[in-house]
Structure 1
Amino acid sequence: MNIVPEPLSLASRLAHDYIHHFDRVSGFYGEDHRGEHGYAERVQWLDLSEDKRIQRKSLAACLRTYNQKHNDHPAVHKSLQLLEQPGTVTMVGGQQSGLFTGPLLVIYKAITVIQAAREAEERLNRPVVPVFWIAGEDHDWDEVNHTYFQTPDLQLSKIKLDAKDGLRTSVSYTDVAEEDWSMMLAELQTQLADSEYKADLLKLASQSFDGSAGLSEAFAKLIGCMFGKYGLILLDSADPGLRALEVPIFESLITRNETLGLSYQQAARDIAGLGYEVQADVSENGANLFYLHEGRRLLLYREGSVFSDRKGIVSLTEEELLRDLHQFPERFSNNVLTRPIMQDSLLPVLGTILGPGEISYWAITRYAFADMGMQMPLIIPRMSFSIVDGTVHKLMEKYGLSFEDVQLRLSEKREAWLASKDELNLEERFNETRKQFEALYQPLIEDLGKMQGGLLKLGLTNKDKILEQMDYLLSKSRNALEQQHEAALAQWKRIEQTLLPEGKPQERVYNILEYMNRYGLNLVDRLMEIPYDASGIHRVVYV
């Protein structure tokens, strides 16, 4: 593999400034992860705040039960043993439980968590264990129920798992029937091109489905198969056993809800005041908590001491909510703004691995951490890659395209190349013909109008029709030119669909199984060997 740094355009200006100009946004975050001081300060605070978190042995016991079921590797058990010991800290990153693991960025995040933990352990000379937070409590089924592959004719192909009941409930609580898993496996078999690795990949997918009640369990098994040997602990945020441990934290989130809400709102105003986009919804009376009612996950809002959803399906006083919390903790879950608080109340988090969007919305939580008597962990950008095979690399060289060209100006470059192949100078000649025609025809129309008023209108209509026919002929001429160079334009399409499918970075679209089918079952292990880089700079991997 040849690894080359190539900047990737980020949609979030706040995340861009965090990575490239930390001084501009430091007020929204904790210590800078790029300096030795940040690590030392964070570790010191973690050592002094042990009593602010869930008791280690209880947490490790809960995680051990979950991982024995879905991620049963000796290295994971070693990580859990270390987690039980005072002084051990964690690197944490998470994602929704996507179909077949979802887009490539999920794999890159897991790699970053593991490598960041290794690097921190060497730096601090103390145990640092990697933890992957599966966001199973999220309810956005449409965000996780599909994944994409590339067809032989360079189109995007989508495999999608439909939910049966249509309830707006947590992904981990959404059941998937055995026949649906069979259908997904059949679709995967169709999507993957024939290769020496295909049979083993289908077996791997089948094993992840076997006995899995839902998407989160299948996801955990696949991630565990890829990363369990590296000691990656898996945690499902919707795990009932974990939820029982979280009761004291939810209690604080409820009793201090108004103060926390004001902190989120103030942070959002400060972010907007500096000209940045606020990346998460911060409602004036948002409780930032979800309540599960009859299978539906309802977002709560607070009016005084009463908590209810927008439609009024549930309405509970603070006292009633707390009573329910102690009796039915599984009914409660976090939203995007309280999840960071929950994560750091459970685990001794040295650093959290975040993508660009996450870096942006974590800024909203800065003051809330302080309100809870906590400090924000180190924010470490996840590593970002684009995988490019030798054929596509040669095509980019053939057409003189840089990675930046593909990102920002591929259409312009393609049009310029096609224009260079136009030996008849179609655009120029048609434009000149239009000008000459209008120069000759317009005076004639005006003279006809002097003869009879109706002829002016008729002449103008006639002129427009003739110009329209010229445009039609030009369009047909362009089509003919494109047909002459159909093979070359297919190569341009291959470059685009490889690096920027549907205008999105490759890592946000394609699935890792497609690349393992091309380059081998050990692809993830080879990606693990890429040198760790905490800068957040995107890199191209030439394979």
Structure 2
Amino acid sequence: MRSECYPITVLPGVSRLFREYLAHWDNPILAESFGGHPADTAWRDKAPELTPEHRARLVSLLESQNPDPSPAARRHLEMLRDGAGVVVSGQQVGILGGPLYTLFKAATAVRRAKEATEAGVPHVPIFWPATEDHDLDEVNQVLLLTKNSAETLRLKSLVHRNTAVGGVVLPEEITELVEQATELLAWAPITETLKRHYAPGKTLAEAFTGLLREIFAAEGLLTIDAAERGYHELGSPVLLAAIEQAEELEAAVRARSQALVDAGYHAQVLLPEQGSLLFLFDEQTGERHALRHKDGAWKAGHVSYTTEELKALLLASPERFSPNALLRPVFQDQILPTSAYIGGPAEIAYFAQSGVLYDTILGRRTTVLPRMSATLVEPAIAKVMDQHELGLKEAFSSADDLALRLGARAMPVEGKKRLQAAGNALDRELDALLGWMQSVDGELARSGEVSASKMRYQMNRLRRMSARFEQEKNASLRKHADAVTLNLFPEGHVQERAVAGTWFLARTGDDFPAEIVSHAGQECSGHKAIFL
């Protein structure tokens, strides 16, 4: 597979915070917010220390959740027992493995752990799925492509509930959904893998983690379901700090969030007044409630607690407590010897706010590194792009807009020259006229600007009419625009965030996971086009 590197700005909607995090830290607020620049390699110089007892219990928990490990995974478990550091990433537990960027996150964690190990400090890759998340509607969908359309599959019998999604049991309907996916994937080998993992009676967490481990078995990827009581016991010092130091920690988060906004960035998570950094699961229903507090009194749903009662509950049932998005990485790094976290734009924004929590609770910060970002281009699509000299930026548009662009390019040279000459003449004469109007009267000039804008709009309309005529005359242009946007920008979304990773696993060979690991280095800090 060959690749081309583009600046991250080729993607639509990239936030200023993420752009500048990747490029430079001219604004001191960025240096204050993160543990290190993504281009630095200091994170791999030394693994965070854990007591031998902590490591032994951690490995025991991982062994129970990573049954029948591959040789590479077994080796990683022993490395972790012996003092290795961790490169971790995570994602929601999506149906049939979730979107393509889930594979990119896992591949980046594998690649970074390999780089650190080769540099002399052993590291292992771990994937931490968001099993305590409660947004079932968001994970209960998977998008696959046909020749002419994008098909979204859902489990209709699963309805939204305010409980942890990882524990949701897959209904009988999952068999039918996997069969639908099998047809769309043309009965590729990956479909047998999907049937093994996404089966009735399994939880979403079991299905998702089992699939991911099998895909990256040769790379020894380990998975963790932190909803288990044992992990909450290891992470309880962080949960306790969120109770005992609630006012201090929440004030620090709000101050950092405001500092980011004042500096022109955005705050990914807004902490409301009386809001805390914790959720509490109802013991009977499993429903998740935000813990709120004021003047030392706490409340979850309709149940009230004193601080001492809440601390006693944490000691007795730590698994009932769940950290919010800002506290979760700190909780994670209390449990794991994390040297680096692999995140996407939203998670990196979380870390910009979470740094103050790391400082107070752990006394150290974890470096956050960007996940691989890429668009995969199949040979047939690459051929169309070469034919029309299209780059990724042009492909990230609607089919209508791209078809017009192709029509404009296909226009006879004489037509292009005449349109260009007319447009240039109009701009030249209007600029001269408006300059004269400004010298006469400011109000006259403002009225002239309005009329000039209408004239320029009509000139652009002539360009569009000519391009549309050429497009309609050549039906293949529309077909090419439809094919490119369907594959690279389906339904107006970047491919990596929309199309299921399993769709590409079905269309490539067994070497695909290793191939994306090889492309997941830092040699391209922006967005890649990878040609399959």
Q: Over residues 387-424 of structure 1, what are the superposed CA-to-partner deviations in whole Å (9 max), with x where a residue is unaligned?
A: 11222112112222122222369755532433566799
Structure 1 counterpart of 2:297, which letter? Answer: V
Q: What is the CA–CA distance in structure 2 between the aligned matches of 1:477 and 1:248, rounded to whole Å? A: 68
Match of 2:437 in 1: none
What are the within-5 Å matches in structure 2 for residues 244-323 of structure 1?
244-293=233-282, 294-309=285-300, 312-323=301-312
Match of 1:63 in 2: 62
Q: 1:162 to 1:63 in 2, by over 3 A?
A: farther
8 Å CA contact 1:92–1:130 kept in 2: the answer is: yes
Match of 1:439 in 2: none
Larger Rg: 1
Q: What is the CA–CA distance in structure 2 between the aligned matches of 1:393 and 1:213, rounded to whole Å? A: 39
Q: What is the CA–CA distance in structure 2 between the aligned matches of 1:118 and 1:14, rounded to whole Å? A: 28
Q: What is the CA–CA distance in structure 2 between the aligned matches of 1:531 and 1:173, rounded to whole Å? A: 31
Q: What is the CA–CA distance in structure 1 between the aligned matches of 2:222 and 2:3, rounded to whole Å? A: 28
Structure 2 counterpart of 1:530, which letter? Answer: H
Larger displacement relative to structure 2 (234-243 or 223-232): 234-243
Match of 2:36 in 1: 31
8 Å CA contact 1:220–1:234 kept in 2: the answer is: yes
- Please point out which of 367, 383, 387 is paired with 1:398: 387
8 Å CA contact 1:499–1:505 kept in 2: the answer is: yes
8 Å CA contact 1:98–1:144 kept in 2: the answer is: yes
Match of 2:139 in 1: 144
Match of 1:85 in 2: 82
Give the unaligned 5+ runs of structure 1: 430-474
1:482 deviation in Å? 5.4
- Please point out which of 312, 329, 351 is paired with 1:340: 329
Structure 1 counterpart of 2:206, which letter? Answer: E
1:180 deviation in Å? 2.1
TM-score by length of 1: 0.82
1:522 deviation in Å? 3.1
Q: What is the CA–CA distance in structure 1 between the aligned matches of 2:524 and 2:307, rounded to whole Å? A: 44
Q: What is the CA–CA distance in structure 2 between the aligned matches of 1:222 and 1:396, rounded to whole Å? A: 33
Q: What is the CA–CA distance in structure 2 between the aligned matches of 1:63 and 1:268, rounded to whole Å? A: 35
Q: 1:65 to 1:494 in 2, by over 3 A?
A: same
- Please point out which of 93, 96, 99 is paired with 2:92: 96
Structure 2 counterpart of 1:32, which letter? Answer: H
Give the unaligned 5+ runs of structure 2: 420-463
TM-score by length of 2: 0.83
Match of 1:108 in 2: 104
8 Å CA contact 1:212–1:218 kept in 2: the answer is: no
Q: What is the CA–CA distance in structure 2 between the aligned matches of 1:27 and 1:241, rounded to whole Å? A: 33
What are the within-5 Å matches in structure 2 for residues 156-171 of structure 1?
156-162=150-156, 164=158, 166-171=160-165
Is 2:161 the partner of 1:174? no
Q: What is the CA–CA distance in structure 1 between the aligned matches of 2:488 and 2:298, rounded to whole Å? A: 46
Match of 1:445 in 2: none
1:527 deviation in Å? 2.1
Q: What is the CA–CA distance in structure 2 between the aligned matches of 1:16 and 1:57, rounded to whole Å? A: 40
Q: What is the CA–CA distance in structure 1 between the aligned matches of 2:480 and 2:65, rounded to whole Å? A: 47
Q: Could you say what secondary structure the match of 1:230 adopts?
A: coil
Q: Could you say what secondary structure the match of 2:39 adopts?
A: coil
8 Å CA contact 1:91–1:117 kept in 2: the answer is: yes
Match of 1:16 in 2: 19
Q: Over residues 413-446 of structure 1, what are the superposed CA-to-partner deviations in whole Å (9 max), with x where a residue is unaligned?
A: 5324335667999xx99xxxxxxxxxxxxxxxxx
Structure 2 counterpart of 1:112, which letter? Answer: T
Structure 1 counterpart of 2:521, which letter? Answer: Y
1:79 deviation in Å? 1.1
Q: 1:3 to 1:230 in 2, by over 3 A?
A: same
Q: Could you say what secondary structure the match of 1:95 adopts?
A: coil
Is 2:506 the partner of 1:517? yes
Q: Over residues 303-357 of structure 1, what are the superposed CA-to-partner deviations in whole Å (9 max), with x where a residue is unaligned?
A: 1212224xx4332222222222222222111110110110111111111111111
1:159 deviation in Å? 1.0
8 Å CA contact 1:92–1:353 kept in 2: the answer is: yes
Larger displacement relative to structure 2 (255-264 or 527-536): 527-536
Q: 1:247 to 1:368 in 2, by over 3 A?
A: closer
8 Å CA contact 1:380–1:534 kept in 2: the answer is: no
Structure 1 counterpart of 2:287, which letter? Answer: R
Structure 2 counterpart of 1:82, which letter? Answer: M
Q: What is the CA–CA distance in structure 2 between the aligned matches of 1:37 and 1:420, rounded to whole Å? A: 49
Q: 1:371 to 1:399 in 2, by over 3 A?
A: same
Match of 1:134 in 2: 129
Q: 1:37 to 1:517 in 2, by over 3 A?
A: closer
Q: 1:477 to 1:221 in 2, by over 3 A?
A: same
Match of 1:234 in 2: 223
Q: Could you say what secondary structure the match of 1:158 adopts?
A: strand
Q: What is the CA–CA distance in structure 1 between the aligned matches of 2:252 and 2:157, rounded to whole Å? A: 37
Aligned-pair identity in percent equals 27
> What RMSD over aligned residues (CA atoms) do the two structures have, in Å?
2.8
Structure 2 counterpart of 1:308, which letter? Answer: K
Q: 1:164 to 1:395 in 2, by over 3 A?
A: closer
Q: 1:37 to 1:421 in 2, by over 3 A?
A: closer
Q: Could you say what secondary structure the match of 1:129 adopts?
A: strand
Q: Could you say what secondary structure the match of 1:126 adopts?
A: coil
1:20 deviation in Å? 0.5
Q: What is the CA–CA distance in structure 2 between the aligned matches of 1:489 and 1:412, rounded to whole Å? A: 10
Q: What is the CA–CA distance in structure 2 between the aligned matches of 1:402 and 1:97, rounded to whole Å? A: 33
What are the within-5 Å matches in structure 2 for residues 444-483 of structure 1?
483=472
Match of 1:363 in 2: 352
8 Å CA contact 2:403–2:481 kept in 1: the answer is: yes
Match of 1:213 in 2: 202
Larger displacement relative to structure 2 (104-113 or 160-169): 160-169
8 Å CA contact 2:398–2:492 kept in 1: the answer is: no
